[in-house]
Structure formats: structure tokens, C-alpha cells
């Protein structure tokens, strides 16, 4: 078994969940016949109701994307000055703060959860701090209890970036029930999507009213304009795609769980390659299959493994590399220096996400694992 064939075509890290064509054409027809394509139409209202139900939250507003949703949340929570966040995230988390005239203050992460380390938050709080923006990285819940305790002690708002955490629960409690607001992203690369889209979940109807107003230029129903809002609306076409995909997302998560378990089983004995296991009491959603490479034990660096896999047409991703604190635009912030963020810097150089999506089958996972074994130096 020396010669192993790669994949004939690039095998991408993900493939979007797709609606059935027949169902899609039927629902599109009804949208076109309704003559309403945007501005809180029937499909958007229905999607908000069904998503609130699915995510177990009282209030939910859908948006054109997750990044605009984050910016609206910052304004709705009246954040100002400094906000403590993690560098180990997608660019949008930190950029949303900057676009809201807020100063990101980077906090190092925990080695196991990959999330913001709550034990380090207090030392970063100044008189300018107004909020915390943690990320449930790869869908693993943050230490929500501890973060809330700190927020309560210092009077800070908590805005969760839950872009990866669709459907996650902590002991049967939905992830959206923590913090002041949780943002979900419905981009096509996420497990659940509306092509582009996002949502803000909260448990305060007055806050939802404000989010809805900010999403629509700050225009009130009675045609008075209270404040400078933006255009964050989702349209009827995308909302109807969202309604169709909501029926399929549970099966998607189950197939991903099955494939994740298979990956773990086939890779757990490889030295220098760490797989992450489920945490007891957490309902996971399997958005990514991430492994951590110890270059000394594995015999290759993470980047070398990434390159080798490319030769077999396996497209893996270096999540999250480069680290946000090392971006040109943030590297000069006092909190961005590498010495203050040792775990995040190490992690950003050692994590690789392997292909995972619901259309993959057992043989795909087996083949990828065989290729990894083949390229690992003996």
C-alpha cells in the first residue's frame, strides 16, 4: 500500500448545505407572486420565528450578514471605548469593533477550549472598558458563567460571536441564552446558512425593537428617524432559502458528528496530531474538524502538512492564521504584542482544519486519514 491516489479534483474544506431544487423553485415562485422582495416580508418574519424557536431564544432579528449584525449589536449595547476580545478568531470579529469606533483589547486564549481565557480578562479591564466580545471558537462554548460573573462585577456588556455555534447547547440550555446578545453568521460556509446572512439573538424585546430599527436606517414605524441606523436587512429570496435549509440542518449536524467520530477514531493514535473530543454536557454542532500539530512529534510543521495535503488535492485550512493581533492594522496595539498572547500565537501556528461537511461519506474521511498517515514521516 505504498502508492496512494489523491482526489481527482480539489476536495474543499466545506460545501454549502443545499435546498432541494423542486422545493426551491416552488418557494421562489411564491416569493415572486407575492411581489415583495424585501423590507420585513412574510419569509423574513417566518424565518425569524422559526429560528428563534430552533435556537431557543425569545427574540431574534435576521441580518444581511454576521459582520453588519455585530456592528449593529455594538451600537445597540452602547459600547464605547475599549472592548476585550480574542485574537484567535475570524477577522470580522475584531473589524466590527473597529468599524464601531471601539478599541479592541486582545486577551489570550485557553489551550484546550481555544476560547478567550476568563482568568485573564480582569487584568485587561480599564476605566474605558465597556464590554467583552468572546467567540465560541469552532462551536465550543466559552466559560459563560465566569465571563458573566466578571461582566456583572464591572458592569460590562457581553456580546457573543456565536458565528460557529448554531444549535449548540450547554446542559440543554441554548447557547444564545448567555450574554446580552449573540451573533450568528449564516454565510454559505457555515453549517446553517442563507447564502449570506446572520442574526442577533437576545432575550429582551425592547432590545430587539432597537436592533430592528438600527437594521432599517433607524427609521421608526411612524416614519420618525430616531438615530443613524444602517441597512442590515435580509431579503425574501434569501430568507426562503433559510426556511428550506432549517429543515435540513439537524441531519447535517448528525452526519458531521458521524464523520467527526470516524476522523477521531482513525487519527487518535497518530503521535503529534491532537484531535479534540466532545465535552460532557455539551451538545456540539461540528462546524469544523480541527487538529493540532506538534511539529516535533509529528515530524512536519502544520504548514508543511497543509502543503503535503494539497499535493493530494485535500484542501485544509489554517484556522485562524494569521492571528488578528498580527494583522497590519492591529499589530501596534499595546495588547497585540506576541509576548502577551503566547497561547494564541502558538495555537494559530499549529491548528489545521480538515474537510468536513454533510455530503462527505465514510470513504472520503478514510482516504484523507490514509493520506495523512502516508505523508507523516516515519
Contacts of 69 (CB under 8 A, 6+ apart): 61, 63, 183, 184, 185, 198, 199, 200, 232
d(CA 26, CA 21): 9
Comparing every residue's Cβ against ligand PLP, the nearest one is: 66
Inter-residue contact 302 to 183 (CB < 8 Å): no
**Nearest distance from residue 90's CB to ligand PLP, in Å?**
4
Nearest to 295 by CA among 283, 308, 305, 285: 305
Give the separation between CA 377 and CA 1, rounded to whole angstroms: 16
Cis peptide before 322 (omega within 30 of 0): yes
Q: Quick one: 90 or 286, whose CB is closer to ligand PLP?
A: 90
Under 8 Å between Cβ of 79 and 124: no
CB of 179 to ligand PLP, least distance (A): 15
Separation between Cα atoms, residue 277 and residue 87, nearest integer Å:
23
Q: How far is the CB of 175 from ligand PLP (least distance, A)?
A: 13
Task: Give the residue with the Cβ less far from ligand PLP, 67 or 273.
Answer: 67
Residues of this chain that interact with ligand PLP (CB under 6 A) are 65-67, 89-90, 92-93, 135, 161, 163-164, 185, 187, 198
Positions marked catalytic: 190
Instruction: Give the angle 203-204-207 at the CA atoms, nearest 5°.
Output: 125
Query: Residue 184 or 298: which CB sits closer to ligand PLP?
Result: 184
Could you give the CA distance from residue 368 to residue 374 in angstroms, rounded to a whole number?
A: 10
Minimum CB distance to ligand PLP smaller for 70 or for 365:
70
Supply the minimum distance, in Å, between the C-beta of residue 30 and ligand PLP.
26
Name the residue nearer to ligand PLP (CB basis): 185 or 347: 185
- Least distance to ligand PLP from the beta carbon of 229, Å? 18
Minimum Å gap between C-beta 26 and ligand PLP is 27
DSSP assignment string, 319-358: TT-S-GGGSTTTTTSGGG-GGG-HHHHHHHTTEEEEP--T
Nearest to 347 by CA among 262, 274, 259: 274
Instruction: For ligand PLP, give the closer residue by CB, 188 or 270.
Output: 188
Partners of 216 in the beta sheet? 231
Distance CA 125, CA 22 (A): 54
Amino acid at each position: 500500500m505504498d502508492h496512494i491516489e489523491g482526489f481527482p479534483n480539489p476536495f474543499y474544506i466545506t460545501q454549502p448545505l443545499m435546498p432541494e431544487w423542486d422545493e426551491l423553485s416552488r418557494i421562489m415562485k411564491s416569493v415572486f407572486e407575492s411581489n415583495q422582495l424585501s423590507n420585513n416580508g412574510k419569509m423574513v418574519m417566518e424565518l425569524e420565528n422559526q429560528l428563534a424557536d430552533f435556537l431557543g431564544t425569545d427574540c431574534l432579528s435576521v441580518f444581511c450578514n454576521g459582520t453588519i449584525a455585530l456592528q449593529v449589536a455594538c451600537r445597540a449595547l452602547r459600547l464605547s471605548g475599549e472592548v476585550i476580545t480574542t485574537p484567535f478568531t475570524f477577522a470580522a470579529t475584531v473589524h466590527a469593533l473597529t468599524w464601531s469606533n471601539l478599541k479592541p483589547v486582545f486577551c489570550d486564549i485557553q489551550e484546550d477550549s481555544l476560547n478567550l481565557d476568563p482568568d485573564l480578562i480582569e487584568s485587561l479591564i480599564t476605566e474605558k472598558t465597556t464590554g467583552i466580545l468572546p467567540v465560541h471558537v469552532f462551536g465550543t462554548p466559552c466559560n459563560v458563567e465566569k465571563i458573566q460573573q466578571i461582566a456583572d462585577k464591572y458592569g460590562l456588556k457581553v456580546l457573543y460571536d456565536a458565528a460557529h455555534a448554531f444549535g449548540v447547547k450547554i446542559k440543554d440550555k441554548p447557547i444564545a441564552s448567555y450574554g446580552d446578545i449573540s451573533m450568528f453568521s449564516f454565510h454559505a460556509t457555515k453549517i446553517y446558512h442563507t447564502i449570506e446572512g446572520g442574526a442577533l439573538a437576545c432575550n429582551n424585546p425592547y432590545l430587539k425593537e432597537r436592533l430592528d430599527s438600527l437594521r432599517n436606517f433607524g427609521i421608526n414605524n411612524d416614519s420618525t428617524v430616531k438615530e443613524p441606523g444602517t441597512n442590515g436587512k435580509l431579503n425574501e429570496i434569501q430568507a426562503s432559502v433559510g426556511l428550506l435549509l432549517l429543515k435540513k440542518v439537524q441531519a447535517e449536524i448528525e452526519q458531521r458528528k458521524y464523520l467527526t467520530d470516524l476522523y477521531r477514531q482513525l487519527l487518535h493514535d497518530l503521535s503529534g496530531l491532537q484531535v479534540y473530543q466532545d465535552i460532557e454536557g455539551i451538545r456540539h454542532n461540528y462546524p469544523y474538524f480541527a487538529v493540532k500539530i506538534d511539529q516535533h512529534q509529528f515530524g512536519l510543521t502544520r504548514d508543511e502538512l497543509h502543503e503535503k495535503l494539497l499535493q493530494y488535492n485535500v484542501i485544509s485550512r489554517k484556522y485562524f492564521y494569521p492571528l488578528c493581533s498580527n494583522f497590519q492594522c492591529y499589530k501596534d496595539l499595546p495588547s497585540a504584542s506576541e509576548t502577551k498572547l503566547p497561547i494564541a500565537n502558538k495555537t494559530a501556528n499549529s491548528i489545521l482544519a480538515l474537510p468536513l461537511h454533510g455530503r462527505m461519506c465514510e470513504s472520503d474521511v478514510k482516504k484523507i486519514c490514509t493520506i495523512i498517515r502516508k505523508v507523516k514521516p516515519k
